[in-house]
Chain A
Amino acid sequence: MPRRLWVRCSVVAVVLAVSLWYLYPPRKSINLGLDLQGGIHLVLGVDVDKYVASQTERAAEDLKSGLERKGVAVKRVVREGLSTIVLDLANTTNWNDALTVAAEFTAFEVAQRDDKAGRFTLAMRERQVTQLRDDAVRQGLETIRNRIDQFGVAEATIARQGVDRILIQLPGVQDPDRAKALIGKTALLEFKLLDEQTPVEQALAGRLPETSEILYERRVDKETKVERKIPNVVQKRTLLTGSELTRAEVQADPNSAGNWQVSIEFTATGTRIFGEVTEQNVARRLAIILDGTLYSAPRINERIPGGRAVITGQFTVEEARDLAIVLRAGALPAPVTILEERTVGPSLGADSIRQGMIAILGSAGAVFVFMLLYYRLSGVIADVALVLNLIVLLACMAAFGATLTLPGIAGIALTIGMAVDTNILIFERIREELRVGKTARSAIEAGFARALRTIIDTHLTVMVTAAILYNFGTGPVKGFAVSLFVGLAASLFTAYFFTRLLFDIIYTGRRRKVQAISI
């Protein structure tokens, strides 16, 4: 055998060895998509504007207390719209002091001023708004990642999608409702004082002080499972939030058998604030509120110095466990909504794999037999190349960590049909050259050389569409684009380089002149 043949044989051997190495062990090497192994696919939309609004609200509160510290009497400081603060001074004498305090809020700029009325509006700078929107998504993503990690899902995918979306894929998770509750809960824990001055009936009739609001407590009757909503009048001011939390643990509720509670522990700062709050409000009732629902409102008997509290609310052990997880992982900066959900059960996934395998084997079988009958020995060569193509295709997918989906399997079945196209092009060309009377050796030479340009052109066009498909598609369709693209790239190697090698070994490597080609 000539030296060049040896080199080419070694290249093929190396490719084959590397491919097999990537494919071993077979069950673990290739990622199966959610449609094949079962699981949950979620796309969440983050309500970024709510985050901007809540940050503005916070700034308004800080501004108010800042002004009060400076002795500036204010009539009103409120958020208006998404990111504007309107400030009304009690009198215009402190006008300049007020502006000085406002100037400390560098995220804002004075948008309008009315010196005579003692009123000005602050608007958040555009760059800051953009930044906050971005922060909301990034923090939300981190929080959700944290929650899922604690929930314990192997190989979960959590990624940002577009501007304000988060993509979550949980393979193997079978309880979508629980997963959704865990992921989608804002988990904003707030401590507020109950407004005991305003009777509930009066509040429900609409006569409510501006500083108070109505929040509901949910009670489920154990026997009838009927849910009741109990209204409570609560002061709007938040005294402490869950952001000052270090621990959250599940405990049995000592006061109600069969129910569970979550005990929480504050950070040093939280402990100090909690101590002060309880000290100043002895004998009043402190409401514990999660995502706008009141859970309990125990009466403060004395100052609580240790920084501990419990959240009770007729939880089952699972609910309590999930609540502890979300409290530990922290609140989402802004509420999220489910924009897209796809859940596939494991039995459907198994069926899809079975059908996909049948389709691949069927189409490979049909193409094999066809090539064999039509091209005889050359058909065998093409078939061997096809097997190599499948091996390299699967190995590439394993190596790149690509995901195999059901449409991806269809892509492989289709690749089988298209990969032999290269061989058909070459073989037809060789036949043509033989017809015009060329010798076997020069017909092979010419056939391969002339077909090359066409092969490259055809491969590139389909690969262009596959690449575009990958960029625009989602989930399963992406899987199809990947297997089509990789399959075609692999076929350039197997159907051209490798078949050429086999031809050379069989027909041109020998000393004696070959008279006929089996084609």
Chain B
Amino acid sequence: MIELFHAPNYNFIGKRRWAYAVSGLIMLIGLGSLGLRGLRYDIDFTGGTLVQVRFEQPPTVGAIRAGLGRIQLGESVIQQYGDPREYIIRATLTTGSSEELAKRVTGALGQEASLGTFEIRRVEFVGPQVGRDLQLQAIYAVLFSLAGILLYIAWAFKSVKGGVAAIAAVFHDMIVCLGALSLSGREFSLPVLAALLTIIGYSVNDTIVAYDRLRENRGKFSQKGKSFAEQMNDAVNQTLSRTVLTSLTVFLSTAILLFLGGKTLEDFAFVLFVGVITGTYSTIYIAGSTIVDWTQAAEGRIARRKKAVAKA
């Protein structure tokens, strides 16, 4: 039998102050990058036009820019996309008929002889209203997911604290993912949003497995006399091999998506990739630790109150 961990009994919860410090630091870096560099939004959210062109011969950015110089494109971004022959041209929303842009781009590139033949592979135009709507939808989708999960945990485990702690872990994961997105200069697009929501589900998944174990254990005789922190630590340890193994398989899937899935899925897979790692970590350290500290604080308050009553 191959075993990653044999009857593990690590003191995870006891070392939670360290974890808080590490998480705090990582989140600070993430938030710092989000604040300073910001997130680059895809045209899905900002509105604009995107044209994906494949040239017969690898062109230079200069030649493409020269070709596009014929038309007044305004602020445009020219970017190599995966293959050296493949380029993406993005233009921000200009007033008037932005949907005509693709046609003008085709015409302008056709006039630049040094570029040779090319094929327009993809054209996307997102108008300002749609962009705004999608922004709102993204925010709603995230909020509704969080609310749904909070309610589910509060109901299934009869514990609002558990729900809030799970959501805290999810927030942690989202900040880490968004921070990584910002640091790596990748774009926030619709697929990235989908990845983020998947991570929300995934991160909570792990947390639930640990909570489930805690709930099951609390009914057992062996847990009598143990503090809540010890019980939580036991639950995390007992589910540790499962957590790590599952993370490993999902991690394998996302790694293959990231490296073999092609350019279109790259950003999406990147978020999943980061999310799986931080999701596993946050289950152990954030959700578990938060609930322990909260419970201890609550118990402390009750104890103090009792003392006060006894004195009186």
- Partner-B contacts on A (CB < 8 A): 35, 43, 45, 176-177, 180, 337-345, 347-348, 351-352, 355-356, 358-359, 362-363, 366-367, 370-371, 373-374, 406-407, 410, 413-414, 416-418, 420-421, 424-425, 428, 431-432, 435, 450, 453-454, 457-458, 460-462, 464-466, 468-469, 471-474, 476-477, 480-481, 484, 519
Asked whether B191 is an interface residue with its Cβ less than 8 Å from the other chain, the reply is: yes
Interface secondary structure of A, over-half rule: helix
Some 28 contacts from A to B, beta carbons below 8 A apart, are: A35-B264, A43-B130, A337-B127, A338-B99, A339-B126, A339-B130, A340-B127, A341-B123, A355-B261, A358-B261, A362-B260, A363-B253, A366-B256, A410-B268, A413-B261, A414-B272, A417-B249, A417-B252, A417-B253, A424-B245, A424-B249, A428-B239, A461-B208, A464-B152, A468-B197, A472-B144, A473-B190, A477-B193
Task: Select the stretch in B14-22, B27-35, B60-68, B199-207 that faces chain A.
Answer: B199-207
Known: A341-B123, A407-B268, A472-B141. Contact between A480 and B194, CB under 8 A?
A: yes
A430 to chain B, nearest CB (A): 11
Segment among B114-122, B172-180, B226-234, B297-305 that sits at the interface with chain A: B114-122
Knowing A45-B129, A374-B2, A425-B242 touch, does A410 contact B269 (C-beta < 8 A)? yes
CA distance A466 to B194 in the complex (A): 9
Other A-B pairs, 11, CB within 8 Å; known A410-B265, A424-B249, A469-B141 = A45-B129, A338-B125, A339-B127, A342-B122, A359-B256, A417-B253, A418-B202, A421-B249, A458-B209, A461-B204, A472-B138
User: A345 is contacted by which of B119, B137, B156, B209 (Cβ under 8 Å)?
Assistant: B119
Cross-chain contact A359 with B265 (CB below 8 angstroms): yes
Residue pair A421, B262 in contact (C-beta under 8 Å): no
Q: Mark B247-259, 1 if CB is under 8 A from A, else 0.
A: 0111111101100
Quick check: A465 and B242 within 8 Å, CB to CB? no
B52 sits at the interface (CB 8 A): yes
B309 at the interface (CB under 8 A from A): no
Interface centre among B123, B190, B202, B242 (most CB of A within 10 A): B242
The one of A342, A352, A424 that contacts B262, using a Cβ cutoff of 8 Å:
A352
Please indicate the chain A residues that have their CB under 8 angstroms from the CB of B262 in the complex: 351-352, 355-356, 359
Min Cβ gap B122→A in Å is 5
Complexed CA–CA distance, A263 and B195 (Å):
55
User: Interface extent on B, as a size class?
Assistant: 35 or more
Q: Are A176 and B102 in contact (CB under 8 A)?
A: yes
* Chain B residues in the interface with A (C-beta under 8 A): 1-3, 7, 52, 54, 99, 102-103, 119-127, 129-130, 134, 137-138, 140-141, 144-145, 148-149, 152-153, 156, 190-191, 193-194, 197-198, 200-202, 204-205, 208-209, 212-213, 216, 238-239, 241-242, 245-246, 248-254, 256-257, 260-262, 264-265, 268-269, 272
Q: Nearest residue in A to B54 (C-beta to C-beta)?
A: A347
A343 to B81, CA, bound (A): 17
Instruction: Indicate the member of A355, A435, A466, A477 with the most B CB atoms within 10 Å.
Output: A477
A374-B99 Cα distance, complex, nearest whole Å? 54
Cα(A472)–Cα(B138), bound, Å? 7
In the complex where A406-B264, A466-B201 touch, is A472 in contact with B137 (Cβ < 8 A)? yes
A212 to B263: give the CA distance in the assembly, Å: 57
| In contact, A461 and B152 (Cβ under 8 angstroms) | yes
Q: Assess the B252–A366 pair: CB atoms within 8 A.
A: yes
Q: Taking the nearest CB of chain A, how far is it from the CB of B85, in angstroms? A: 12
Instruction: Kindly state the separation between the CA atoms of A466 and B204 in the bound complex, as whole angstroms.
Output: 13
CA distance A421 to B137 in the complex (A): 30
- A176, A407, A457: which contacts B156 (Cβ < 8 A)? A457
Q: A460–B152 contact, CB under 8 A?
A: yes
A210 to B253, CA, bound (A): 71
Docked complex Cα distance between A195 and B302 (Å): 92
Task: Give the chain B neighbours of A371 by CB distance below 8 A.
Answer: 249
Check B246–A424 contact: CB distance below 8 A. Answer: yes
**Is the Cβ of B201 less than 8 Å from the Cβ of A461?**
yes
**CB atoms of A481 and B194 under 8 A apart:** yes
B252 & A363 in contact (Cβ 8 Å cutoff): yes
